[in-house]
Amino acid sequence: MATLKLRSVAIDTYRENVAYLHRDCHVYHSEGFQALNKIEIRREENGEAVIAVLNIVDDESITAPGELGLSEQVFQQLGLPEGTPVRVRHATPPRSIQAVHRKIEGEALSAQDYRDIIQDIVENRYSKIEMAAFLVGCAETGFERNEVLHLTRAMVETGDRLQWNEPLVADKHCIGGIPGNRTTMLIVPIVAAHGLCMPKTSSRAITSPAGTADTMEVLAQVDLSPERMREIVHQHRGCLAWGGTARLAPADDILISVERPLSMDSPGQMVASILSKKVAAGSSHLLLDIPLGPTAKVRSHRDALRLRKLFEYVGDRMGITLEVVITDGTQPIGRGIGPVLEARDVMQVLRGDPAAPVDLREKALRLAGRILEFDPDVRGGQGYFLARDILDSGRALARMEAIIDAQGRNPHPPEPGKLVREVRASRDGRVAAIDNLRMASLARLAGAPLDKGAGVDLHRKVGDPVRRNEVLYVIHADFPANFEFACEAASQDDGYTLEEV
């Protein structure tokens, strides 16, 4: 069979594999080789195959007839040099797509079905629209809790697992949605200083203005090899690393690339996504934070309880000790929103700075206290006080500094963005509400989390009195275009509700 010469096309198509074929190419003469069709590319008859979606090229300088261009992602996956002869054929839809159709028709799928689907997803056999079909099928009310368990297990099994050889490996997770909620960077040093093992791996922000990994990166390196992470945890009992290097529940990372633009966040997917990562990371004990509020992800007590039960059902069956706390999600936590500003808040709390935000400190102590009580030697109800002692004595700060040095201190930590806009109160009154979604959106428009110094710095919180023209918050940005996007959005809706006193 005729072959094509491999060529790298320097286009970043993120999680979508794209192949480029010239319109006048001899294998193109069939319906199967039109734009947006899926093809299978391999070097030899029975060699490893990669799957890609076709784009048709009319410019020989991008891809000439007789060549097969591959976007950066696919070219890397295939791992062959340019000029290598490759064979191309129609990609058949992944076999597990039949199960997705059954799910769409309302059937409950088996553990084997979920294994097959997740295996195909991990092997990049699903297109984005096939993943969307799967996610929407599972978002329906007909997604049973046993299916969530099957899905979680399949996601763990298709990736690597970390082993810590520790009787108790503590972890915490927040379901997200509350800007500035950077408690993890306080909890880890407190818990580690107490002596519990807490090798924290975090993600970068997906839909929020900052993840723990983005914020920790302001202070230290977070991209640690598994070996280095192990050494640091051995010495300091904790770390704050980016979880992206380990192949933990890789299906989750792929599915997120479709969930994010769709704003899909169904309870079943959320539980499977979180618990699969935790189990794969080797955690034995997990504290889960579900913030509740009118602009939080969970907006009613009933929904919060239902989500808690689902976490408990799956967590128990995955063999992880799990506690759920429902917390106040009515407004952002702390003052800063965005990596640099949030890192500043965290360090203020650790240093006992009088300017430190009280709500961030109190929430971190409450959650750290619950984790400390996973320790059999800590008396029930004493965790909070123990955590407070560790923080106020400076032991948490010392541990944080040690972890920063061990991970690799950032010699030139970035500053808050130099482009600054003060957003002011339009009248006298009291702050009645702050919209979490709006504040997150403003910080992202300003450039967070990619621009570390970009974000929003809150000067007033709910309940604070304000006078007309007083500053409610300050927008920081590094680049003019982003700055204008954020300022324009704030002028349309500043996210604050003021009430008469």
Q: Does 59 bind its own copies (CB under 8 A)?
A: yes
Write down the least CB distance from residue 292 to its own copies, Å.
20
How many residues bind its own copies (CB under 8 A)? The answer is 76
At residue 13, φ and ψ (nearest 5 deg) are: -110, 20
Q: With CA atoms as reference, report the closest residue to 144 among 315, 321, 314.
A: 314
**Pattern 24-43, binding to its own copies, x per CB under 8 A?**
--xx-xxxx-xxxxx-----
Q: With CA atoms as reference, report the closest residue to 473 among 441, 450, 448, 495.
A: 495
Q: Quick count: other Cβ atoms within 10 Å of Cβ 285?
A: 21
> Could you tell me which residues are beta bridge partners of residue 337?
456
As to burial, measured by CB atoms within 10 angstroms (0-12 exposed, 13-18 middle, 19+ buried), residue 40 is middle
* Interface with its own copies in residues 169-208 (CB under 8 A): 205
Write down the least CB distance from residue 121 to its own copies, Å.
14
Residue of 19, 41, 68, 71 interacting with its own copies (CB under 8 A): 71
Residue of 84, 119, 146, 257 interacting with its own copies (CB under 8 A): 257
> Is the CB of residue 233 less than 8 Å from the CB of residue 197?
yes
- Using the rule CB under 8 A, give the single segment among 152-160, 272-280, 385-393, 481-489 that binds its own copies: 481-489
Write down the least CB distance from residue 123 to its own copies, Å.
18
Query: Which residue lies nearer to its own copies by CB, 16 or 362?
Result: 16
Cβ contacts of 115 within 8 Å, gap of 6 or more: 150, 154, 157, 158
Distance, CA of 346 to CA of 335 (rounded, Å): 10
Residue of 171, 217, 345, 478 interacting with its own copies (CB under 8 A): 478
Write down the least CB distance from residue 444 to its own copies, Å.
6
Residue of 5, 15, 42, 351 interacting with its own copies (CB under 8 A): 15
Q: Does 46 bind its own copies (CB under 8 A)?
A: no
Distance, CA of 178 to CA of 187 (rounded, Å): 17
Catalytic one of 24, 265, 328, 428 = 265
Beta strands in 382-454 (DSSP E): 419-424, 429-434
Which amino acid type is present at position 160?
A: D
Q: With CA atoms as reference, report the closest residue to 218 among 370, 338, 84.
A: 338
User: Which tokens is 14 given?
Assistant: 């993120």
Read off the DSSP letter of residue 92: P
Write down the least CB distance from residue 261 to its own copies, Å.
6
Residue of 224, 258, 337, 474 interacting with its own copies (CB under 8 A): 258
* Interface with its own copies in residues 130-149 (CB under 8 A): 130-133, 135-137, 139-141
End-to-end CA distance of the chain: 80
Write down the least CB distance from residue 245 to its own copies, Å.
20
Query: Which residue lies nearer to its own copies by CB, 44 or 377?
Result: 44
Query: Which residue lies nearer to its own copies by CB, 9 or 274?
Result: 9
- Using the rule CB under 8 A, give the single segment among 56-64, 222-230, 243-251, 360-368 that binds its own copies: 56-64
Residue of 480, 492, 499, 501 interacting with its own copies (CB under 8 A): 480
Task: List the strands of the sheet with 321-328, edge to edge.
Answer: 170-174, 285-292, 321-328
> Is the CB of residue 65 less than 8 Å from the CB of residue 22?
yes
Write down the least CB distance from residue 437 to its own copies, Å.
13
User: Which tokens is 401 given?
Assistant: 């500094």
- Using the rule CB under 8 A, give the single segment among 14-22, 218-226, 246-254, 372-380 that binds its own copies: 14-22
Q: Does 108 bind its own copies (CB under 8 A)?
A: no
Beta strands in 192-284 (DSSP E): 198-202, 238-242
CA separation, residue 351 to residues 33, 235, 399 (Å): 62, 22, 12
Query: Which residue lies nearer to its own copies by CB, 31 or 499?
Result: 31
Distance, CA of 389 to CA of 155 (rounded, Å): 39
Distance, CA of 468 to CA of 464 (rounded, Å): 13
Told to judge if 265 belongs to the known catalytic residues of this protein, a careful annotator would answer yes
Write down the least CB distance from residue 414 to its own copies, Å.
13
Query: Which residue lies nearer to its own copies by CB, 177 or 383?
Result: 177
Residue of 6, 7, 19, 20 interacting with its own copies (CB under 8 A): 20
Q: With CA atoms as reference, report the closest residue to 339 among 175, 222, 489.
A: 222
At residue 69, φ and ψ (nearest 5 deg) are: -85, 145
Q: Does 298 bind its own copies (CB under 8 A)?
A: no
Q: With CA atoms as reference, report the closest residue to 71 among 113, 15, 8.
A: 8
* Interface with its own copies in residues 431-450 (CB under 8 A): 444-445, 447-450
Q: Does 306 bind its own copies (CB under 8 A)?
A: no
* Interface with its own copies in residues 448-477 (CB under 8 A): 448-451, 454
Write down the least CB distance from residue 454 to its own copies, Å.
8
Distance, CA of 343 to CA of 182 (rounded, Å): 8
Q: Does 501 bind its own copies (CB under 8 A)?
A: no
Query: Which residue lies nearer to its own copies by CB, 62 or 326?
Result: 62
The residues carrying an active-site annotation are 265
